[in-house]
Amino acid sequence: MPGITREEVAHLARLARLELKDEELEHFAGQLDDIIGAVAAVSDVADEDVPPTSHPLPLTNVMREDVVRPSLTPQQALSGAPAHEQQRFMVPQILGEES
Amino acid sequence: MTDLTRLSAAALAEKIAAGEVTAVEATEAHLARIEAVDEKVHAFLHLDREGALAKAREVDAKREAGERLGPLAGVPLALKDIFTTEGIPTTVGSKILEGWVPPYDATVTRKLKEADVVVLGKTNMDEFAMGSSTENSAFGPTGNPWDLTRIPGGSGGGSSAALAAFEAPLALGTDTGGSIRQPAAVTGTVGVKPTYGGVSRYGMVAFSSSLDQGGPCARTVLDAALLHSVIAGHDERDSTSIDAPVPDVVAAARNGEVRGLRVGVVQEFSGEGYQAGVMQRFGESVELLRELGAEVVELSCPSFTKALAAYYLIAPSECSSNLARFDAMRYGLRVGDDGTHSAEEVTALTREAGFGDEVKRRVMLGTYALSSGYYDAYYGSAQKVRTLITRDFERAFAQVDVIVSPTTPTTAFPLGERADDPMAMYLADVCTLPVNLAGNAAMSLPCGLAPEDGLPVGLQIIAPAMADDRLYRVGAAVEAAFEARWGHQLLDEAPSL
Amino acid sequence: MTVTELVSYEDALASYEPVMGLEVHVELGTATKMFCGCSTGLGADANSQTCPTCLGLPGALPVVNAEGVRSAVRIGLALHCEIAEWCRFARKNYFYPDMPKNFQTSQYDEPIAFDGYLDVQLEDGEVFRVEIERAHMEEDTGKSTHIGGATGRIHGASHSLLDYNRAGIPLIEIVTKPIVGAGERAPEVAKAYVAELRELIKALGVSEARMEMGQMRCDVNLSLRQHGAEKFGTRSETKNVNSLRSVERAARFEIQRHAAVLDAGGTIIQETRHFHEDDGSTTSGRVKEEAEDYRYFPEPDLVPVAPPREWVEELRGTLPELPRERRNRLREEWGISEHEMESVLNAGAVDPIVATAEAGAPSDQARKWWMGELARRANEDGVALEALPITPEQVARVCALVAEGSLNDKLARQAIEGVLAGEGAPDEVVEKRGLKVVSDEGALGTAVDEAIAGNPDVAEKIKGGKVAAAGALVGAVMKATRGQADAARVRELILEKLGVEG
Ligand SMILES: [Mg+2]
Ligand SMILES: [Zn+2]
């Protein structure tokens, strides 16, 4: 596996919404490179014909009936909000899809 | 008068039920102990003095009214700060949730309340349960009561330290790769990771959903069993919860027995990196099991050598997604909302300021492992390794009833020693994490002190999924035999604080 | 922004073949959300239908709504899809403030339904088969209101307010395979497909599928390729096209725009575009610096869905007749032309007519009322036919009164007016307004005698063979009976009394 570069770390940080500082980019690039080097051992089995396990229990079809349960009150829902207005969560401007 | 903080939960509950001690007295004794030692230990992030005393008064009133009390009614408990508690802060050891007061109780919290357990407060932990030393807490590390300059294990170091420091006879932890068992091992206490799905995850702040499991922490095997039976059971709010009766762990703990039992020793749980004193105590434990009438079988589980690698892909992948919700929009910290930054930027600034290094590392690692082009090589392969590990366990359990191993390769290491060496830190969980990948049940209990440093060593017992009772049957037998040999509990050898 | 000079539609089609892909999101009409027990009811106070799960609070977990799965399977079956024996939910990871967990719980490579088709009929009767790639389950997002910018748009807003009542409402996303071979009729096919799908969803009873309320939303993917070319061109994705007419216009616009870009030697960028209702154009969405990487992986908080085969067959048994087949059957039963059927459809009169006929009225009578008097009223009031305050049973009763001769056409119209005015059921209106046809031969005879006596000159004309003059006497009788006589019978009586052959 190729090593992980500073640019890749910057890309990952953008995807993960982490505003990393320059020195962090350097620091994490080294560490992530070490870790990825170590965990790359799993790829030995990439071509093996083994089913993946996404879940430790062999459960299926766990569902609930379509019956309304009490919601939180709006006050409870908003209780942790950094800011709210008109019973809605107030957030900074969204850079959206709309043009 | 007896020091109430030295009693087991079972003994304390009996005294409360018999009216020899009130729940308020028991609670006050533990609050006083916390007052006296927690400045040094730093097991607690938040104390709920008023709530605890109110619950204790309620228990006493019930008893006076002649109501039948539950088996742990009035017993104080230290709750890992990962379980939501309505009206009481829940931080998960992170700045990003500092001051957050949940509007709802975790299922486990609700069950504790219903069982009349007295919750003293919330305990320290590695941020979002990521770590093996509790040094990743945003609110400072916890000390190991055996040696305050050493780690209490992690992520649930606060819970285990609270037990070892006699601040509470019961505690709750969560175990994603060993976060209940490894702290138990290094603090000389008992910790159990139940079968995946045995204890509801509803209201347990998620680190890695397919690996996380809440479980009991205590100073004795019986106490752990009593707590296990209070918190376990099906929950319709958790789709991954097992809809089947909980094995009778309390009966098993009361009937310790290993005669005729087949015990597996897996060769992959040894070798480089294992401390000599740890292997010595482990060897003596195997010998003890033989003396008690168990048959010891040597086994090989070759895929366990890839468990650490698989774990450090699956857990970060799931956490990168689970932690995405901490975005400064609905709750928790918000940084940079000064009118010049967009929501996107505020999210990134907040996560940068609110998450510690280990969380950032794992979030980025998981983002990498899931990203297009890498998924098959990393996440996909890790899930195949998971299948191989499960098969190794299945083959093993076709031959033996339980597997035993050291819980950790070493005793408690000094605070700071591995703080900036993630790979070295990850090795602390090398014996515990195969169990999480397969979803089995496992326990750690004390098996002596390592001769070279005088620190506790943990014995891990692993049972197949849904056979949690075996842990308690074997654990109780081993505990009784060791205590008979030592003439006391291992914790009695801990220095007084 | 550069304004693209469009190529004429005909010229575009002369050089290129359009290839379309349609993605339709349908909000299910379940009582609760997809993964929690919060109500989906409309019009509730902001954030009053939220819980730890749909707010994405730390620690909260999802549990699948069985009715959501049931609806998904029924939609899949109605679209002739295969139903997965085993499938999982997946997390689609991306950050957006209206999405509380910052991942959407959706399905990725294991949709619950796949490989189906929907036959759609164009206005001239031609049937076009649209192949369905998949139908999968997912959840809706919350709603944001943008404050401080012009007219509530994101651009220029200082902040936004979020209401999560809609977050977590079940969605079914239905994706077509590339639609090729429609040629110049591609926009028409797109519209007909969405219209047919909407009818189907309504017939299944899984959603009201009201596009104007966002219960059904369509993304139009479109690309062009040179005639005879194998390879598809690069596509554009026009998001949230929310009316049937807009679907057609958006496809048409994109065909013309792509052709213009390609003709000028340019390349199409794969991008999302926004449709503008006012002028029918599309404009480019925000260009992202990096390609989206959703990092899909199986949702670890949910277990797989494995619909048992017997259950799937049981659900197959609950499917209604497909709307297109039903329409064709009714058209034949009613004996009307494609064109007339089209009018009935456009008026939204199919179901009322069927219900009226089921209540006992002859279908032509039912059609006459619903497409005539009632359609006129609905139109005047600006409401749907079904929203008029009259039931199909009441219309059928009026028809019955006409058939037994108790009412004539004019009286029937008054009876219906009365019902619409809230005066009660048809019989009550007839009673209160005194609308009965005068059928008492004695009373009628007297009225006829009086009319003959009062108009001797007219009577003479009739006797002299001018039968057409009888109309004047009929009019006099009708006037005398205040319209409550059967005009045909009156005429008969007049001719009889004057001894003239009718
Ligand atoms: Mg979608
Ligand atoms: Zn909800």
Question: Which whole number is the average pLDDT over B152-179?
Answer: 98
Partner residues linked to B190 by β-bridges:
B218
Question: Which whole number is the average pLDDT over C432-457?
Answer: 82
* Position C3 in a domain: no
* pLDDT > 70 in chain B, percent: 100
Same domain flag for C16 and C94 = yes
In this complex, the residue of B102, B321, B367 whose CB is nearest that of residue C57 is B102
Among chain B residues, CA nearest to A69: B237
Q: Provide DSSP, C208-271.
A: ---GGGTSEEEEEEEEEEETT-SS----EEEEEE-SHHHHHHHHHHHHHHHHHHHHTT-----E
Same domain flag for C83 and C148 = yes
Higher-confidence residue: C291 or C97?
Answer: C97
Å from A34 to nearest chain B CA?
Answer: 8
SS3 assignment for chain B: CCCHHHCCHHHHHHHHHHCCCCHHHHHHHHHHHHHHHHHHHCCEEEECHHHHHHHHHHHHHHHHCCCCCCCCCCCEEEEECCECECCECCCCCCHHHCCCCCCCCCHHHHHHHHCCCEEEEEECCCHHHCCCCCCCCCCCCCCECCECCECCCCCCHHHHHHHHCCCCCEEEEECCCCCCHHHHHHHCCEEEECCCCCECCCCECCCCCCCCCEEEEECCHHHHHHHHHHHECCCCCCCCCCCCCCCCHHHHHHCCCCCCCEEEEECCCCCCCCCHHHHHHHHHHHHHHHHCCCEEEEECCHHHHHHHHHHHHHHHHHHHHHHHHCCCCCCCCCCCCCCCCCHHHHHHHHHHHHCCHHHHHHHHHHHHHHCCCCCHHHHHHHHHHHHHHHHHHHHHHHHCCEEEEECCCCCCCECCCCCCCHHHHHHHHCCCHHHHHHCCEEEEEEEEECCCCCCEEEEEEEECCCCHHHHHHHHHHHHHHHHHHHCCCHHHHCCCC
Q: Does A82 touch chain C (CB under 8 A)?
A: no
Question: Which whole number is the average pLDDT over B418-440?
Answer: 94
Same domain flag for C41 and C145 = yes
The answer to whether residue B129 scores a pLDDT higher than 50 is yes
Q: Any idea which of B261-265, C237-241, C444-448 has the lowest mean pLDDT?
A: C444-448
Same domain flag for C369 and C488 = no
Cβ contact C57–B331 (<8 Å)? yes
Cβ contact A19–B387 (<8 Å)? no
Enumerate the residues of chain B whose CB falls inside 8 A of the CB of residue C95.
324, 327, 344, 347
B451, B453, B456, B462 alpha-carbon torsion, rounded to 10°: -70
Among chain C residues, CA nearest to B369: C295
The answer to whether residue A97 scores a pLDDT higher than 80 is no
Q: What is the predicted pLDDT for the residue at C90? A: 98
Partner residues linked to B144 by β-bridges:
B147
Contact B185, B153 (CB under 8 A): yes
Q: How many structural domains comprise chain C?
A: 3
Cα separation, B404 vs B431, whole angstroms: 10
Catalytic choice (B179, B303, B317, B405): B179
Max Cα–Cα distance, chain A, nearest Å: 56
What does the pLDDT look like over B333-353, one tens digit per residue?
999 999 999 999 999 999 999
Among chain C residues, CA nearest to A12: C293
Helix (H) or strand (E) holding C274: strand C271-275
Catalytic choice (B155, B241, B285, B317): B155
Phi-psi region of A93 (alpha: psi -120 to 50; beta: other; left: phi over 0): beta
CA of C237, nearest ligand number: 1
Closest CA to B384 of A52, A54, C297, A48: A52
pLDDT band at A99 (very low <50, low <70, confident <90, very high): very low
Among chain A residues, CA nearest to B99: A80
Contact B482, B490 (CB under 8 A): yes
Partner residues linked to C271 by β-bridges:
C236
What does the pLDDT look like over C313-324, one tens digit per residue?
999 999 999 898
Give exposure, C96-119, as e/b (b: 16+ Cβ within 10 Å): bbbbbbbbbbbbbebbbbbebebe
Catalytic choice (B80, B111, B122, B193): B80
Closest CA to B232 of B118, B115, B315: B115
Distance (angstroms) between ligand 1 centre and the Cα of C292 equals 14
What does the pLDDT look like over C158-174, one tens digit per residue?
899 999 999 999 999 99
Higher-confidence residue: B292 or A56?
Answer: B292
In this complex, the residue of C63, C102, C293 whose CB is nearest that of residue B325 is C102
Q: Any idea which of B56-70, C81-95, C199-213, C284-298 has the lowest mean pLDDT?
A: C284-298
Cα separation, B67 vs B69, whole angstroms: 6
Residue to mutate among C297, C299, C302, C305, with most B CBs inside 10 A, is C297
CA of C219, nearest ligand number: 1
Clarify whether B155 is annotated catalytic: yes
Q: What is the predicted pLDDT for the residue at A1? A: 45
Question: Which whole number is the average pLDDT over A24-46?
Answer: 92
Same domain flag for C416 and C472 = no
In this complex, the residue of C38, C88, C144 whose CB is nearest that of residue A71 is C38
Q: What is the predicted pLDDT for the residue at C152? A: 56
Q: What is the predicted pLDDT for the residue at A74? A: 98
* Position C294 in a domain: yes
In this complex, the residue of A18, A72, A89 whose CB is nearest that of residue B360 is A18
When the pLDDT of each residue in chain C is averaged and rounded to a whole number, the result is 92
Question: Which whole number is the average pLDDT over C103-108?
Answer: 98
Å from A47 to nearest chain B CA?
Answer: 9
Q: What is the predicted pLDDT for the residue at C3? A: 56
* Residue C29, token pair as written in the block: 């009409």
Distance (angstroms) between ligand 2 centre and the Cα of B198 equals 24
If you count them, how many residues does chain A have?
99
A vs B: CB pairs below 8 A: 183
Enumerate the residues of chain A whose CB falls inside 8 A of the CB of residue B347.
17
Same domain flag for C62 and C99 = yes
Q: Does B331 touch chain A (CB under 8 A)?
A: yes
* Residue B56, token pair as written in the block: 């204790």
Cβ contact A59–C303 (<8 Å)? yes
Cα separation, C46 vs C50, whole angstroms: 9
User: What are the structural domains, with CATH classification, of chain A?
Assistant: 6-45 (1.10.20)
Higher-confidence residue: C482 or B237?
Answer: B237
Q: Does A95 touch chain C (CB under 8 A)?
A: yes
Question: Which whole number is the average pLDDT over C69-83?
Answer: 98
When the pLDDT of each residue in chain B is averaged and rounded to a whole number, the result is 97
**Burial of C269: CB neighbours in 10 Å, binned 0-12, 13-18, 19+:** exposed
Cα separation, C107 vs C113, whole angstroms: 11
- Supply the range of the domain harboring residue C493: 441-497
Q: Which chains touch A (3 or more CB pairs under 8 A)?
A: B, C
Q: Any idea which of B76-90, B101-115, B195-209, C352-366 has the lowest mean pLDDT?
A: C352-366
Q: What 3-state class would DSSP assign to C35?
A: coil
pLDDT band at C439 (very low <50, low <70, confident <90, very high): low
Predicted complex ipTM exceeds 0.95: yes
Cβ contact B368–A13 (<8 Å)? no
Question: Which whole number is the average pLDDT over C206-228?
Answer: 95
Contact C98, C144 (CB under 8 A): yes
* Position C328 in a domain: no
Clarify whether B179 is annotated catalytic: yes
Higher-confidence residue: C452 or B386?
Answer: B386
Same domain flag for C206 and C262 = yes
Cβ contact C290–A87 (<8 Å)? no
Q: What is the predicted pLDDT for the residue at A98? A: 43
Same domain flag for C196 and C234 = yes
User: What are the structural domains, with CATH classification, of chain B?
Assistant: 4-256+440-493 (3.90.1300.10)
Q: What is the predicted pLDDT for the residue at C154? A: 63
Single out the residue in C389, C406, C433 at which a domain terminates.
Answer: C433
**Burial of C420: CB neighbours in 10 Å, binned 0-12, 13-18, 19+:** middle
Cα separation, C354 vs B421, whole angstroms: 76
Distance (angstroms) between ligand 1 centre and the Cα of C106 equals 7
pTM, rounded to two decimals: 0.90
* Count of CB atoms situated within 10 Å of the CB of C325: 11
Enumerate the residues of chain A whose CB falls inside 8 A of the CB of residue C281.
none
What does the pLDDT look like over A36-85, one tens digit per residue?
999 999 988 888 899 999 989 899 999 999 999 999 999 999 999 999 99
Cβ contact B343–C160 (<8 Å)? yes
Cβ contact A16–B438 (<8 Å)? no
Single out the residue in C377, C409, C433 at which a domain terminates.
Answer: C433
Question: Which whole number is the average pLDDT over C339-367?
Answer: 91
Same domain flag for C425 and C453 = no
Same domain flag for C303 and C373 = no
pLDDT band at C286 (very low <50, low <70, confident <90, very high): low
What does the pLDDT look like over C369-378, one tens digit per residue?
999 999 999 9
Å from C53 to nearest chain A CA?
Answer: 10
Same domain flag for C365 and C472 = no
Which single residue is written with the structure tokens 């569902």?
A63
Q: What is the predicted pLDDT for the residue at C287? A: 62
Partner residues linked to C117 by β-bridges:
C131
Same domain flag for C386 and C261 = no
Enumerate the residues of chain A whose CB falls inside 8 A of the CB of residue B328.
82
* Position C319 in a domain: no
Single out the residue in C433, C467, C483 at which a domain terminates.
Answer: C433
Q: What 3-state class would DSSP assign to C103?
A: strand
User: What are the φ/ψ torsions at residue C368 (nearest 5 degrees)?
Assistant: -55, -50
Q: Does C103 touch chain B (CB under 8 A)?
A: yes
Contact C254, C219 (CB under 8 A): no
Clarify whether B241 is annotated catalytic: no
Q: Does B344 touch chain A (CB under 8 A)?
A: yes
Q: Does B106 touch chain C (CB under 8 A)?
A: yes
Enumerate the residues of chain C whose CB falls inside 8 A of the CB of residue B83.
59
Cβ contact C303–A69 (<8 Å)? no
* Position C284 in a domain: yes
**Cα–Cα distances in angstroms (integers) from residue C306 to residues B61, C83, C185, C310, in the given order:** 50, 9, 39, 12
